[in-house]
Structure 1
Amino acid sequence: MSQMEFAAGKILASSEGGVGRVVFNQPEKRNAMSVDMWTGLSEALDLFAEDASVRCVVLQGAGDKAFVSGADISQFEKVRNNADAQKEYDKLTSAGRRKLSTYEKPVIAQIRGFCMGGGLGIAMSTDIRIASEDSQFAIPAAKLSIAYGFDMVRALVDLVGPAHAHMILMTGERFDASEAERIGLVNRVVPVDQLDATVAKLTATLASNAPLSLRTNKMTVKAACADRSDRDMAKLQAAMAACFDSNDYREGRRAFMEKRKPAFTGS
């Protein structure tokens, strides 16, 4: 698949070897997210959702300075200047946020440089976060007199617990990759020169695994973190049954007995 552009080129999408890749492409603003970029992210994710050859998706920032440094503050005076404007901003960006948080395929955040505010919210909405040693993190809400939405704060608490969440939100201070790994905000920290190779090895593994298993296990983890009343147990049971009734399960058994790698098709 050739590279495609969304949001006037500020969102780039491509795929290779079963891996879809989305690049936040506004390096002159450290990849800060504009409203249009949220729409572009949603469109790029739709593209990969419809492509059966794409088994997982990587999100990364353009350049070496930032994953996503947060929302594009230059738009705040126009689109987020009071509570009513914030509600409208939420409507404009909700499609991309919802698409990412409910995405069925595995999503990996490849983090280098600044991962701040809404950028950290994006990273927390992914399933696996791999960061380079020079990455920096923060949620500077207290320094702007704003409050983050419930979903983002809940994701933070789910990952690091309430004590670390209070420290991050109340101080608004930056912390480094080693601290992010220590508190459970990222899965792994690697040297800068090993970031690409580490993510490539991970995505190769995911791309070779059974798509139905990946989707169902992701669904189950999300359900385990949700309120009991929000769990669709019938949907979970149906997804689990589909795994056991699948051609891929038969292929997995045969491959095990024949001592070879399975060739999964997602059916």
Structure 2
Amino acid sequence: MQEQKIYGRREGAVGHVVFNNPAKLNAVSLDMWDGFVGILKDYEKDPEIRCLVVSGAGGKAFVSGADISKFESERANAEAQVRYDAISKQGYEALYDFPKPTIAKITGYCIGGGMNLAACCDMRFCNDGARFGVPAAKLGLGYGFLRIERLSRIVGLPRAMEFLFTAKQFSSKEAYEMGLVSGVASDAELDALVAKTTDAISQNAPLTIALAKAAAREIAKPESQQDHKKLEAMTKACFDSEDYKEGRRAFMEKRKPAFKGR
């Protein structure tokens, strides 16, 4: 049986999505994007899933971008490029709009489309050997507005321009110093570093976290397009929830709360 090029697995309250194309440094083809969106939809509907971790198999790369070997069949001309862009954009936006906290667990190369995928996550952690870069200028590719905007929101516009103008690669240390990643660990300790964050998220109130995630996405929009009424309704729902009662009781009883997300 052929090995899945992308798959999901669940560990308690954490949903994992793994890009599994290590022979090509987890380069992404159209069918992989389709599978990615399907997994995200399943996790979004599952109330037991509290957060999401995205990673690449093999240890040598997170995601290295598009599968260049398939450019002749999938991106041979402008028409094919439009189709590829539409499907890949659906994947990126599904991750960016995923309503629960998302973490990129990065090992090795995080290049081009991999950078965009990581920028669509709320947090990023990497191993010591991680390398980050946007080689679009070496390939003549158009790295579009949304990609540049999201990268610049994380590292600042001057740093984003350095990525794009030079097409050079940055180390894990440089990525941490510029705020691209929240933490760096050895290969042996990376899973524990990520688990520390996912455990904390999983124990906290889902409605409060959903509100914070929604607010973060509204902040990224122009002020004229921000939906404050939606956020006000979500705030009210927090105060009306069973979890708010549970949080108060747990505080008074000096115990850990058991939140249900309702």
TM-score normalised per structure 2: 0.96
Q: Given residue 54 of structure 2, which amino acid in structure 1 is its aligned partner? A: L
The Cα of 1:232 is off from its aligned counterpart by 1.1
- Aligned partner of 1:89 among 70, 80, 84: 84
Give the aligned partner of residue 166 of structure 2.
171
SS of equivalent to 2:156: helix
Structure 2 unaligned regions, length at least 5: none
Task: Report the alpha carbon displacement of residue 8 of structure 1 after superposing the two structures with TM.
Answer: 6.6
Same amino acid, percent of matched pairs: 47
1:255 aligns with 250
User: How does 1:1-267 map onto structure 2 within 5 Å?
Assistant: 9-267=4-262
User: Structure 1: how far apart are the matches of 2:73 and 2:102?
Assistant: 32
**Cα-to-partner distance string for 1:92-128 (whole Å, 9 max, x where unaligned):** 2232222111110111111110100001111110011
Shift of 1:148: 1.2
Q: Could you tell me how far 1:28 is from its partner in structure 2?
A: 0.7
- What is the distance in 1 between the residues matched to 2:94 and 2:158? 29
Separation (CA, whole Å) in 1 of partners of 2:38 and 2:56: 17
Distance in 1, matches of 2:22 and 2:159, equals 30
* Secondary structure of the structure 1 residue equivalent to 2:95: helix
Q: Distance in 2 between matches of 1:242 and 1:265?
A: 14
Tell me the matched-pair count.
Answer: 262
Under a length normalisation based on structure 1, what TM-score does the superposition of the two structures give? 0.95
Inter-partner Cα distance in structure 1 for 2:77 and 2:168 = 24
Amino acid paired to 1:110: K
CA distance in 1, matches of 2:157, 2:79: 29
Deviation of 1:90 after TM superposition, in Å, equals 1.4
